[in-house]
Amino acid sequence: MLPILGRPILELMIERLRRVRLLDEVVIATSTDPSCQVIEELACRLRVGCYRGSEDDVLDRVLQAARSADAGLIVETTGDCPLLDPEVVDRVIEAFQSSQVDYCSNVLERTYPRGMDVQVFPLRVLEEVAGITQDPVDREHVSLYIYEHPERYRLHNVASDLPQKYWDLRLTVDTAEDFALIRTIYEELYPQKPAFGLLDVLELLERRPELVQINRHIQQKPVR
């Protein structure tokens, strides 16, 4: 809910998701914790779906959110990625639709900056996983069980054609430094081009390489 240009970063992300051609509906999966009331209010104001479930069992929360929208296919993104490029989302969805797989993403092998993460899988697969594992780590990280079991599920990774120097960029919001970078990017690009994409971001970082240093030292926490 931190503001950039006077708007919560989640609102800016939803604006971007609404430009994804292949999405039918956006549903926010948040928790029942009272602190998340502001998220539900934002969803109502923006007229997007909102499901509130377990704080810790994120798998069930996403599952129930998908059921609430009668979704057959889940396109999972996380609310800390306000630079997510709609074209990247469409590309991963298209790759899933053209492949005979159970799970498709661009995170199995990272060739996109962190913050462009998209995971696509059918509701039926998540329903199956929900009945198989009660491991707290699996329940916290929704699709972890799927891609840790390639012997059971058919997986497909979507690779970018970006130079390798961009693969480890952090374009997500986990820390104050991350937020400072994302805010600067929005302030530089959004006023002139609200629908800016990943290539616009990379061009800005080429012109102002000092920006990359803002959060270069941040290390992502391992899942396990």
Convert the pLDDT of each residue in 75-121 to its tens digit: 999 999 999 999 999 999 999 999 999 999 999 999 999 999 999 99
DSSP code of residue 17: H
Give the model's pLDDT for residue 222. 79
pLDDT value at position 219? 84
Looking at residue 170, the DSSP 8-state letter turns out to be B
Give the residue with greater pLDDT, 152 vs 218.
152
User: Which pairing describes strands 155-157 and 103-105: parallel, antiparallel, or unpaired?
Assistant: parallel
Q: Is the pLDDT of residue 221 over 90?
A: no
51: pLDDT strictly greater than 80: yes
Structural domains for the chain = 3-163 (3.90.550.10), 166-214 (no CATH)
Residue with tokens 């961009």: 166
Q: Tell me the whole-structure pTM to 2 decimals.
A: 0.95
* Tokens found for residue 40: 């539900």
Q: Is 72's pLDDT higher than 80?
A: yes
Q: Per-residue pLDDT for 224 more than 80? A: no
121 touches 74 (CB < 8 A): yes
Cβ contacts of residue 9 below 8 Å, gap of 6+? Answer: 1, 2, 3, 79, 80, 82, 173, 179, 182
High-pLDDT (> 70) share of the chain, %: 100
pLDDT digits (tens, 9 = 90+) for 108-123: 999 999 999 999 999 9
Q: Is the pLDDT of residue 218 over 90?
A: no
Mean pLDDT of 177-186: 97
How far is the C-alpha of 115 from the C-alpha of 82, rounded, in Å? 8
Judge whether 116 and 20 are in contact, CB under 8 Å: no
Average pLDDT over residues 122-146: 97
